[in-house]
Amino acid sequence: MDGHTLIYLLFILLLATFLGLELISKVPATLHTPLMSGSNAISGITLLGAISLAGQSGDNSQLSTLLGFAAVIFAMTNVVGGYLVTDRMLEMFKKKGSKK
């Protein structure tokens, strides 16, 4: 990877970070639960990509397997944590007397 490509990729990462912060700060509190559910779906897609990366064989098979395994762990943590937070937020909207 040459220097221009690295600078280009860092610029994209920086731009995505600022855009993400700007979008998240503008979301009203009533939309946080649906937004969390949507991000859980995206994390599920990320999990599929991480699994395919972990199972990929090639020149750097140990490196890709290690990075894929780390990606599976991080994506799975994000999915499970997101669903737990979403469930907890939805519990707040239920009436006090109702049971599951």
Q: Could you identify the residue written with the tokens 């610029």? A: 11
Please give the model's pTM, rounded to 2 decimal places.
0.58
What residues contact 90, with CB distance under 8 A and at least 6 apart? 33
**What integer pLDDT is reported at residue 50 of this predicted model?**
83
Collapsing DSSP states into helix, strand and coil, what is residue 93?
coil
* Residue-wise pLDDT tens digits, 20-66: 888 888 878 777 767 777 777 788 888 888 888 777 766 667 877 88
* Residue-wise pLDDT tens digits, 8-33: 989 999 999 999 888 888 878 777 76
Measured on CA atoms in the order 8, 66, 49, 32, is the torsion positive or negative?
Answer: negative
Nearest residue to 72 (alpha-carbon basis) of 46, 93, 95, 97: 46
* Residue-wise pLDDT tens digits, 55-94: 776 666 787 788 888 888 988 888 888 888 778 877 877 7
How far apart, in whole angstroms, are the C-alpha atoms of residue 69 and residue 52? 10
Structure tokens belonging to residue 67: 């990075």
**What integer pLDDT is reported at residue 14 of this predicted model?**
95
